[in-house]
Amino acid sequence: MFAHYEMKIFSGSAHPELARRICDSIYQPLGDSTSVSFSDGESKVRINEDIRGRDVFLVQPTSGPANQHIMELLIMVDAVRRASAARITAVIPYFGYARQDRKDRPRVPITAKLVANLLTAAGVNRVLTMDLHAQQIQGFFDIQVDHLYARPVMLRYLRAKPDLDPLVVCSPDVGGLKMGEAYSQALGVGLATVAKRRKSDTEVDPLYLIGEVKDRNVFLIDDLTSTAGTLTSAARICKEHGAKHVFAGVSHAVLGELGYQRLRDSEITELITTNSTPIAPPPGSKVEVLCIASLLGEAIKRIHNDESISSLFEH
């Protein structure tokens, strides 16, 4: 339906480097736009080229400062809609507020649903995202959501890594078992999990390990880390049960100073993540960043051409 319209890709201020790499991967120019903040914090966006009747993709992960980047994305959508774009796709590699996806106590919001409502109300026709913290968030939208996985990029890196055998995949908590199972099946290795109890937003208490890790290398896999508390606690209990080396992988690393410090002091040999958010690991941080630009670029190209993206899940 939209393949005969011209494609236009624009970037907000959240991650322009990723937007440029996406454009390079599919040989498309990055659209000309301006995003500025006034002294009082208000955002202003201007699209500096004609987009009437175009198929527009807006690249903006909603990582920190999440409120600013979400608001800027909404303003970009409004600007593009008022400029008569044929279709607007929000490319949100990292979907902020995804951890607030349910009412786990009285009188709290479901903020992930609120953000979905805001995007739809602003005029987004379609969303492209990756490794949502909770897959049911797709159902919060009344528009099409294309949900990618970083798994093909992660698996390519792991398979090229020498001396990983024997390997076991481990989920750092029971909630991540489904993700862990997908990796264990793809790699043809065993699966383990750590049961934990959360003490606070930054601290977890690992209770016990289910599965065999003795004399094996362990690959801990999760969708997201910010303080590295869950990963480092799981790595410690794996080493206590005789694991040789512990590697970790997360689709989204929104690490602060506490997270980097914990990684440096932990049993984790290497943390593998993606550039779904801007990340510049300090020296000695043990963090390896993989690029997802080609994955997102191929998905954008297929969406534009009305082609299936399901083959991008294969590995």
Q: What are phi and psi of 57, to 5 degrees?
A: -120, 125
CA 262 to CA 203: how far, in whole Å? 11
Residues near 151 by beta carbon (within 8 Å), at least 6 away in sequence: 182, 183, 186, 313, 315
Side-chain half-sphere of 224: how many Cα atoms within 13 Å? Answer: 17
Cβ-in-10-Å burial (0-12, 13-18, 19+) of 123 comes to middle
Taken in order 194, 233, 133, 224, the sign of the CA dihedral is negative
Q: Give me the catalytic one of 113, 178, 196, 301.
A: 196
For residue 134, give the DSSP letter: S
**Catalytic residue at 196?**
yes
Q: Any idea which residues carry the catalytic annotation? A: 196
